[in-house]
Structure 1
Amino acid sequence: MEQVPLLIQNGFLCDPANGLEGQFDLLIRDGKIAWIGKDPEIAAQALCVMSVPGAVVLPGLVDMHVHLRDPGFTQKEDILTGCEAAAAGGVTSLLCMPNTKPAVDSVETVEYIRQKAEAAKAHVYVTGAITKGLSGKELTDMAALQQAGCVAFSDDGRPVENAAMMTAALKLSKELGTIVTSHCEDLSIINGGIVNDGAVSKALGVKGMHRSSEDYITAREIILAETNDCPVHIAHVSTRLSVQLIREAKTRGVDVTCETCPHYFSMTEEKVLSKDADYRMNPPLREEADRVAVLEGLLDGTIDCIVTDHAPHTPQEKADFFTAPNGVIGMETSFAAAYTYLVKTGKMSLLQLVEKMSVNPARRLKIPAGTLSVGAPADITVVDLNRDWVVEPGKLHSKARNAVYKGMTLTGKVMTTFCGGRLVYTG
């Protein structure tokens, strides 16, 4: 169906990819950005006009760490509902993780995801599994998976425990022009822990997850990437030592990038004293010194991307603190949380935030996103930066309700989202 040309008028455009910051009009035609400027004659030609005075117009957000739970766990989430949540959060492109059932270790599963995503309200990019069944025992046919559409590889949810196998994956991924994302948690160190190992785990009388589980695998991946001259991406960084290890690696020229999530720079382990399983995730909320280190890593460029690690679970699964699976949802709150804790507090500019939530992940994944350039896909997020709103899980678009910011007031509300020129959300 042909799209009617639409003019977004009176908005403040913010596009770090082009160094663009100012009040301009933007014309969408045939699913792409056709023009940006201030020409009244062109504006007069638009058949449809959307005036957004006081709002900011951003390139659609890119979330490179999302669990859509589809196939296999659709009671938690599915591709369509996950993308509904994405659109409501201003996310127009997302990278789904392979820990589904079956795992994303075959061309057939990749094709299933891509076909179902054709009806979704966001662009869905696929992460292929590094090992068959995420078992860590045998490499997948990464070349075939890439040919089928995978843009990255990971065994996310668990590490690749065998270093030789990880080395082989890094080398092959480099040949294919893709990226390996590493879930840095040594399971033998965690050994059944459910929260950060420290004062809070002791107070609760539960087994803790020692920070060395993350630091050890982070250090290993850096060494493997450096000695084999391969790129690597480190998932959900949460500890001060991991931040330091990545910082030092970057100064040596190692091709390492990394991500963190809003909860790691806005919350600490004290949250789990409530015995509310919605504050349990992997890796866990850490200590104040870790929160500060993650924040510093964001500000000095050590941490490249802000993602959600959107991990839906049913309310029934999350009911019991001690037995619940780890994970939180976040796509509808990620921008507001990051804006509230980083930009509103004066720690970071809006341009810098958009860089970490849109430009950098798009570039690392080599996908056509993260920019308002003329000719680029019309993936656009319009936000009211002055609007405060309370996070009410029952009003979110995900099937799940395990929202880590529930009951909290955040600033910055997504008003409108366009994906490929289609209006996919208005609120």
Structure 2
Amino acid sequence: MTLYFENARIIDPEAGTESIGNLILNAGVIAAIGAASPPKGAQVIDCGGKCLAPGIVDLGVKIGEPGERHRESFRSAGRAAAAGGVTTIIARPDTAPAIDTPEVLEFVTRRAAQSLVRIHHMAALTKGRQGREMVEIGFMLDAGALAFTDCDHVVSDTKVLGRALTYARGLGALVIGHPQDPGLSRGAAVTNGKFASLLGLPGVHPMAERLGLDRDIGMVEMTGVRYHSDQITCARSLPALARAKANGLDVTAGVSIHHLTLNELDVGDYRSFFKFTPPLRAEEDRVAVVEAVASGLIDIICSMHSPQDEESKRLPFEEAAAGAVALETFLPAAMRLYHAGAMDLPTLFRAMALNPAKRLGLPQGRMALGAPADLVLFDPDAPFMLDRWTLQSKSKNTPFDGQRMEGRVIATFVAGIQVFGPEGFADA
């Protein structure tokens, strides 16, 4: 079916522009931009001046298959993504068992094929994410792995890490690191400081991130591997990142939407829905990281969607599981940055769609002729109160429960097909 969008506020992250115009989708791609009239037989969609942008490419989503399907399934994650304007999920390998063999990767690829949105997978860097023996990187690439990461299980043995990075470099594979010194961060629940002391919670100094990043950058310089840091959350890490880029290393960095919109004070009265890995930082760090995204020093914003059931969250803060669901809250949380004047919409979608797609070699994230017709139509100003029980994810662990948000998804399109809209989901 040919779709004709008229009166759309088109967000182009590649050109850095937004403008009122028309757009045609045909055969799963963007066929024309600025067409004066709809082609014969096209379905006309009046956008009413609302925003039309490339669908979000979310790098680093936890899905509970295999092993934790009660927390999140491919179906529930796909529906949450579609409702949140996420058209491409890059799933993490921290499953049970970990995605560390071609057989497991092929299994999850088959399971993900029926989702409403596109789902690609990363693979573990070491077997079982135990940091002892690297996976068969070549075989995993052949099976479809987009990148390799042990997630928050930091490989502490630098000899093992060096071998894995050298092998990945020879195959052109992207390695994603979690910059934390494992010794300093072990057992931490919050960031060190006066507030942590008042709460009586074990903390980790922000220098743990800086030390982890410095080590990883040194390993990148030694091996020449393509490297992405999953989360940079502290101001003191930014100079090291800037130097690595200035020295010509193939290094990029990301940050979660929670670390851009929340700070350490939000933990409040031991609210475990605000427990993350790494923990929420000081307001000064949050502001510095927001500025780094706006300047392009930090390349990617992700949700770090981490579903946890009630039993793992309704515990004393120190014992509670870390993480939050975020596929459906990603866009409205990002609108906080837009409404605060920290970033315009093209800059936000550069970090949420264009840059992750480019880093992974995917064609998505662009508002250009011939680009995949993966789009989100949304109203950035629409207010609502978030009720976690209305979320599509199986798990409901969101820090934004009961908060006033702005930014509603009106419709989501994948390959030119509407998968979510006012009438519901395409798989209903």
TM-score range, shorter chain: over 0.9
Q: Aligned ranges for residues 315-326 of structure 1 at < 5 Å?
A: 315-320=310-315, 321-326=317-322
Question: By how many angstroms is 1:409 displaced?
Answer: 1.6
Q: Determine if the alignment matches structure 1 residue 53 to structure 2 residue 48.
A: yes
Quote the residue 2:26 is aligned against: 29
Q: Distance in 1 between matches of 2:156 and 2:229?
A: 15
Q: Distance in 2 between matches of 1:410 and 1:236?
A: 24
Q: Distance in 1 between matches of 2:212 and 2:7?
A: 48
Q: Out of 117, 122, 127, which is 2:122 matched to?
A: 127
Question: By how many angstroms is 1:21 displaced?
Answer: 3.1
SS across alignment from 1:316: helix
Quote the residue 1:225 is aligned against: 220
Question: By how many angstroms is 1:19 displaced?
Answer: 5.1
Question: By how many angstroms is 1:44 displaced?
Answer: 4.4
Q: CA contact under 8 A between 2:291 and 2:342: conserved in structure 1? A: no
Quote the residue 1:405 is aligned against: 400
Give the partner amino acid of 1:30.
Answer: A
Quote the residue 1:357 is aligned against: 352
Q: Distance in 1 between matches of 2:26 and 2:393?
A: 30
Q: Distance in 2 between matches of 1:233 and 1:226?
A: 13
Q: Determine if the alignment matches structure 1 residue 239 to structure 2 residue 229.
A: no
Q: Out of 284, 289, 295, which is 2:290 matched to?
A: 295
Give the partner amino acid of 2:68.
Answer: F
TM-score (norm 1): 0.95
Quote the residue 2:167 is aligned against: 172
Q: Determine if the alignment matches structure 1 residue 340 to structure 2 residue 336.
A: yes
Q: CA contact under 8 A between 1:226 and 1:255: conserved in structure 2? A: no
Please list every run of at least 4 consecutive aligned residues from structure 1 whose deviation after the TM superposition is greater than 6 angstroms: none
Quote the residue 2:106 is aligned against: 111
Give the partner amino acid of 1:339.
Answer: M
Q: CA contact under 8 A between 1:63 and 1:93: conserved in structure 2? A: yes
Question: By how many angstroms is 1:281 displaced?
Answer: 0.7
Give the partner amino acid of 2:72.
Answer: E
In the alignment, structure 1 segments of 5+ residues that lack a partner are none
Q: Determine if the alignment matches structure 1 residue 98 to structure 2 residue 89.
A: no
SS across alignment from 1:45: coil
Quote the residue 1:14 is aligned against: 11
Q: Distance in 1 between matches of 2:228 and 2:259?
A: 18
Q: Out of 359, 364, 368, which is 1:369 matched to?
A: 364
Q: Distance in 1 between matches of 2:298 and 2:4?
A: 35
Q: CA contact under 8 A between 1:262 and 1:337: conserved in structure 2? A: yes
Q: Determine if the alignment matches structure 1 residue 162 to structure 2 residue 157.
A: yes
Q: Out of 5, 9, 30, which is 2:2 matched to?
A: 5
Q: Out of 182, 192, 195, which is 1:197 matched to?
A: 192
SS across alignment from 1:22: strand
Quote the residue 2:208 is aligned against: 213
In the alignment, structure 2 segments of 5+ residues that lack a partner are 423-428
Question: By how many angstroms is 1:20 displaced?
Answer: 5.3
Give the partner amino acid of 1:34.
Answer: A
Q: 1:340 to 1:46 in 2, by over 3 A?
A: farther
Question: By how many angstroms is 1:148 displaced?
Answer: 0.2
Q: Distance in 1 between matches of 2:301 and 2:16?
A: 20
Q: Distance in 2 between matches of 1:273 and 1:410?
A: 20
CA distances 1:308-365 after superposition (whole Å, capped 9, x unpaired): 1100001121111332111111111112212222x22222221111100100010001
Question: By how many angstroms is 1:254 displaced?
Answer: 2.0
Give the partner amino acid of 1:142.
Answer: I
Q: Distance in 2 between matches of 1:417 and 1:178?
A: 31
Question: By how many angstroms is 1:119 displaced?
Answer: 0.7
| Structure 1 range deviating more: 162-171 or 298-307 | 162-171
Q: Distance in 1 between matches of 2:174 and 2:242?
A: 19
Q: Determine if the alignment matches structure 1 residue 188 to structure 2 residue 183.
A: yes
Q: Out of 347, 362, 381, which is 2:376 matched to?
A: 381
Identity of aligned residues (%): 32
SS across alignment from 1:25: strand
CA RMSD of aligned residues (A): 1.5
Q: CA contact under 8 A between 1:7 and 1:46: conserved in structure 2? A: no
Question: By how many angstroms is 1:18 displaced?
Answer: 4.6
SS across alignment from 2:381: strand
Q: Distance in 1 between matches of 2:335 and 2:171?
A: 35
Q: Determine if the alignment matches structure 1 residue 270 to structure 2 residue 298.
A: no
Aligned residue pairs total 421
Give the partner amino acid of 1:157.
Answer: D
TM-score (norm 2): 0.95
